[in-house]
Amino acid sequence: MAENVIRAKDLSFNYEESTEGISDINFSIEPGMVVLLTGNSGSGKSTLLKCLNGLIPAVTEGELSGSLSIAGKEYSSVKMHQLNKVIGSVFQNPRSQFFTDNTTAELVFPMENYGYTKDQMVQRLKELEKEFGLDGLLDRNIYTLSSGERQMIALASATALKQKVLLFDEPSANLDYGNAMKLGRIIRKLKSEGMSVIVADHRFYYLNGSIDKVLFMDHGKLKVCESEEEF
Binding region for ligand ATP (CB under 6 A) = 15, 18, 20, 39, 41-47, 60
The least distance separating ligand ATP from the CB of residue 43, rounded to whole angstroms, comes to 4
Q: Which of 46, 69, 157, 159 binds Mg ion (CB under 5 A)?
A: 46
Q: Which residues contact 155 (CB under 8 A, 6 or more apart)?
A: 90, 94, 132, 168, 171, 183, 186
- Residue 158-197 contact track with Mg ion, rule CB under 5 A, x = bound: ----------------------------------------
Residue 43 interacts with, from Mg ion, ligand ATP, none (CB under 5-8 Å by kind) = ligand ATP
Question: Which residue's CB is nearer to ligand ATP, number 20 or number 24?
Answer: 20
In this complex, which beta carbon is closest to ligand ATP, that of residue 16 or of residue 119?
16
| Residue showing the smallest CB distance to Mg ion in the complex | 46
In whole angstroms, what separates CA 70 from the centre of its chain?
14
Q: Is residue 38 within the footprint of Mg ion (CB under 5 A)?
A: no
Which listed option, ligand ATP, Mg ion, none, makes contact with residue 38 (CB within 5 to 8 Å by class)?
none
The answer to whether the CB of 13 falls within 8 A of the CB of 55 is: no
Helix, strand and coil percent figures for the chain, each rounded to 5: 35, 30, 35
Q: Which does 20 bind (CB under 5 to 8 A by kind): Mg ion, ligand ATP, none?
A: ligand ATP
Pairing of strands 21-29, 34-38: unpaired
Select 32 or 57, whichever has its Cβ closest to ligand ATP.
Answer: 57
Dihedral sign, Cα of residue 52, residue 91, residue 154, residue 107: negative
State CA 175 to chain mean position distance: 16
DSSP state of 140: S
